[in-house]
């Protein structure tokens, strides 16, 4: 009995001690699991946000806050600015390796142009574009066995022959835009009106004409102009000249809307931690119809091209677009290899759509930013117009439009400088992704193989801000060797719109202030200062030449025909909206016709 009582006395004590011990063990285990699942910074002393390293989500909560403002890419600029460093670690997604973020131009340029054997396109890049065009060369790393064949397939698309054909399409569509805006400006009677939708359609028409040879009368811009002339403008108030005029928009065809929607789905790739899975679910549910319509559109265009190329009519059978060139190259390969041409091969289809998707969004967004820079920089706009009148003197004297050949062939250094300054400041796509192919050193820091690299060219040390003092010894040999290849911007006006920074006057030529001699001896210098808008090196922007031609022609035609007058402050915000590109939140024009 005494023994029983003794056991009873010890039982409560045993329970009371085992519970805290168990809870402590559980807490230690949970803490261990938590720490184990937190981001693992790269060993060494590459700066990072210490609080982010101690939470499973890493930098994601802060990035989400930036997403709410509509400009999540701004996070990259602020991240390095807060850490006071040109290189840092970013914990973008849970359970993923940290990315290395670089905002220093020289280091970014070195990685892209001089060290391309050590760095390649990022797998993240493949995840983003691979969701909509898995067989597009932009979604492949260089060592991908498909890459070389795809590049061979599209190699004709930036040749002078093709570009000359494309310029005719660009000029024709730009002419319709000029006519439509002349009509709108007359109707608006000095009031501003939205410009983004028109520029969006113009860029779409240009890339569809270049890709598929779609004729002008079938373009969205042409149809919109015809529709516009049958619709009255909507004026919200007749009291103020600052109140914008709203014009009705004709809906795009279902197939064109599908192209735009499918292109827009790459946003999932940018923002999701699991882009391929996330996109696959949406593609097979709410986006199923759009993807089917996109495929049907491409099939229809390929069939039309084959019919045209095999026509006995010599005028009809001539090459007129990117698709024609690609099909003829495939037919040539098939004949050489003794096989039947595979005109509907996945790589053919994806290269065609990739060409459209990447060419449309970037160009339409850039044109929108250019329009804003024109509106808000009157003196530079007037100087540009004077340059055009001087360069295209014959057209100016005859009071006619400059021809497409005059625009692309006549030297106009200030036109080049103005365009380059717009591209320097535009927010269109300020990030470039790369991946280390081997263990590398960046600014004196060891970075392991497989690490993703984010080059943000609008941050400290980039195109728009002065950088940090970096010892030359911390830079690579290739960076040191090319130190003077590209100039440096004046820190006093680096964030200002000043096209003159791109011009150099020839030795011995003095400008005496006379307006007629304003451009005498002035040469455009593409290496005047930091500029990575089109990337660099062998994996730089594939469509760069076409983009420059498109922007040059459209810009010249608009400035030739209109004076862009200031819009009210409430319509002139420079805030961006994160889509596939960073689109201006507001894009209005107030035009005065000149011709």
**Residues at the annotated binding site for heme?**
541
Residues in a beta bridge with 235: 245
Buried b (16+ CB within 10 A) or exposed e, 192-212: bbbbbebbbbbbbbbbbbbbb
Element (H, E) at 432: strand 431-436
Encode 288-320 in three state secondary structure.
HHHHHHHHHHHHHHHHHHHHHHCCCCHHHHCCC
Q: How far apart are CA 386 and CA 425, in angstroms?
A: 23
70 Cβ neighbours under 8 A, 6+ residues apart? 575, 576, 577, 578, 585
Residue positions forming the annotated binding site = 541
The DSSP H or E segment spanning 253 is none
Of the chain, the end-to-end C-alpha distance in Å amounts to 116
* Residue 193: closest CA among 565, 576, 453, 579: 565
The 8-class DSSP code of residue 465 comes to B
Neighbours of 55 (CB within 10 A): 17
HSE (side-chain half, CA atoms, 13 Å) at 347? 19
Give the closest residue to 549 by CA, choosing from 334, 447, 405, 377: 405
E strands along 215-311, which residues?
A: 234-235, 245-246
What phi and psi values does residue 176 have, to the nearest 5 degrees? -65, -40
Distance CA 497, CA 424 (A): 9
Mutual angle of helices 322-337 and 288-309, in 10-degree steps: 70
Alpha-carbon gap, residue 111 to 440, rounded angstroms: 11
Phi-psi region of 191 (alpha: psi -120 to 50; beta: other; left: phi over 0): beta
Length of the chain equals: 595
Report whether 93 contacts 124 (CB < 8 A): no
Work out whether the CA dihedral 247, 250, 251, 252 comes out positive or negative.
negative
Alpha-carbon distance of 295 to 289, in angstroms, equals 10
544-561 and 413-425 are packed helices; what angle lies between their axes, rounded to 10 degrees?
110
- CB-side neighbour CA atoms (13 Å) of 92: 23
User: Which string of DSSP letters, residue by residue, matches 89-105?
Assistant: EE--STTSPPEEEE--H
Q: How far apart are CA 558 and CA 70, in angstroms?
A: 29
């Amino acid at each position: 009995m005494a023994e029983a009582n003794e056991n009873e006395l010890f039982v409560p004590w045993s329970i009371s001690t085992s519970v805290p011990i168990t809870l402590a063990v559980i807490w230690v285990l949970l803490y261990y699991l938590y720490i184990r699942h937190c981001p693992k910074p790269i060993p060494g002393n590459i700066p990072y946000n210490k609080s982010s390293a101690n939470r499973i989500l890493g930098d994601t909560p802060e990035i989400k806050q930036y997403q709410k403002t509509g400009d999540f890419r701004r996070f990259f600029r602020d991240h390095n600015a807060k850490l006071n460093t040109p290189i840092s670690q970013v914990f973008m997604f849970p359970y993923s390796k940290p990315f290395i973020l670089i905002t220093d131009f020289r280091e970014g340029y070195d990685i892209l142009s001089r060290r391309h054997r050590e760095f390649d396109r990022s797998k993240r890049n493949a995840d983003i574009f691979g969701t909509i065009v898995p067989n597009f060369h932009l979604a492949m790393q260089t060592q991908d066995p498909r890459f070389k064949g795809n590049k061979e397939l599209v190699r004709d698309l930036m040749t002078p022959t093709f570009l000359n054909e494309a310029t005719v399409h660009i000029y024709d569509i730009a002419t319709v835009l000029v006519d439509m805006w002349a009509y709108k400006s007359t109707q608006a009677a000095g009031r501003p009106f939205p410009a983004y939708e028109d520029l969006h359609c113009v860029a779409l028409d240009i890339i569809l004409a270049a890709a598929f040879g779609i004729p002008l009368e079938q373009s969205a811009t042409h149809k919109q102009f015809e529709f516009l002339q049958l619709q009255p403008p909507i004026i919200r108030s007749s009291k103020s000249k600052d109140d914008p005029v709203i014009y009705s928009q004709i809906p795009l065809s279902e197939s064109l809307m599908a192209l735009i929607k499918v292109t827009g789905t790459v946003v999932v790739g940018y923002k999701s931690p699991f882009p391929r899975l996330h996109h696959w679910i949406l593609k097979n549910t709410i986006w199923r119809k759009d993807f089917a319509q996109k495929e049907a559109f491409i099939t229809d265009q390929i069939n039309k091209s084959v019919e045209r190329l095999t026509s006995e009519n010599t005028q009809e059978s001539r090459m007129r677009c990117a698709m024609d060139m690609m099909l003829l190259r495939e037919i040539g390969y098939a004949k050489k290899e003794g096989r039947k041409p595979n005109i509907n091969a996945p790589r053919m289809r994806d290269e065609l759509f990739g060409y459209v998707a990447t060419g449309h969004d970037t160009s339409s967004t850039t044109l929108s930013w250019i329009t804003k820079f024109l509106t808000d920089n009157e003196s530079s706009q007037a100087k540009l117009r004077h340059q055009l009148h001087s360069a295209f003197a014959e057209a100016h004297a005859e009071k006619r439009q400059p021809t497409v050949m005059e625009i692309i062939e006549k030297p106009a250094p200030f036109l080049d400088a103005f365009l380059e300054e717009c591209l320097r400041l535009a927010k269109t796509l300020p990030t470039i992704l790369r991946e280390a192919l081997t263990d590398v050193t960046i600014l004196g820091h060891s970075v392991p193989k497989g690490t993703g690299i984010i080059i943000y060219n609008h941050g400290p040390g980039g195109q728009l801000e002065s950088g940090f003092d970096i010892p030359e010894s911390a830079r690579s040999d290739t960076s040191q060797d090319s130190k003077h290849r590209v100039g440096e911007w004046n820190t006093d006006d680096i964030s200002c719109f000043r096209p003159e920074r791109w011009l150099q006057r020839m030795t011995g030529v003095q400008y005496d202030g006379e307006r007629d001699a304003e451009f005498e001896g002035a040469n455009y210098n593409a290496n005047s200062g930091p500029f990575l808008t089109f990337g660099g090196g062998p994996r730089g922007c594939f469509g760069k030449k076409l983009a420059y031609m498109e922007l040059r022609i459209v810009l010249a035609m608009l400035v030739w025909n209109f004076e862009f007058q200031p819009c009210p402050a409430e319509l002139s915000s420079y805030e961006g909206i994160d889509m596939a590109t960073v689109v201006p939140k507001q894009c209005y024009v107030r035009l005065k016709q000149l011709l």
